[in-house]
Amino acid sequence: MPNPSKRKHNANEQAKYQRIASAHVPKPPLARNLVTAFAVGGIICAVGQGVLNYFVSSGMTFDEAIAPTLCVMIALSALLTATSIYHHIGEFAGAGAAIPITGFANTIVAAAMDFKREGYILGMGAKMFIIAGPVIVYGVVSGVIVSAIRWLSR
């Protein structure tokens, strides 16, 4: 049977170590992270706006141009993920690269690439939504809840 005083001593040592270690962890550059996330997210959105403007200028209505714009941005993100460029953008920009739809596409493509060796069905097909699946589920559930609240408040 383990000695209770020894366990208490180990817990105290562990807590002491955690205090010392946390005092030496460098503080993240919050202002720099905020600026880079804002700038890169803005650049991604500006590219999306440029694509939307192109479709509108080619004769589509604004509502008709939305779907092809999303398709182009998702395809661009998938291509950049496949060539490992989006990974570097994400490391530099953090949430600025993760929040737009391109970040969502990146998570799906990256997960599919990680499990490619396991085959197309049990690897890529089964694992590509491992990260994005909860986002889809909670997005749909929150959309239903908001719609129900709006419908009930009429």
Mean pLDDT, rounded, for 87-110: 87
* DSSP code at position 100: S
| pTM, two decimal places | 0.68
Question: Residue 3's pLDDT is what?
Answer: 59
For residues 124 and 26, give the distance between their C-alpha atoms in angstroms, rounded to a whole number. 38
Which residue, 71, 110, 72, 70, is CA-closest to 89? 110
| pLDDT per residue as tens digits for the range 105-118 | 888 888 878 777 77
Cα dihedral value 34, 54, 65, 40, nearest 10 = -10
Structure tokens at 94: 């953090």
Whether the per-residue pLDDT at 5 is higher than 70: the answer is: no
pLDDT-based confidence at 56, cuts 50/70/90? very high
Q: How much of the chain exceeds pLDDT 90, in percent?
A: 47
pLDDT-based confidence at 6, cuts 50/70/90? low
Mean pLDDT, rounded, for 76-96: 91
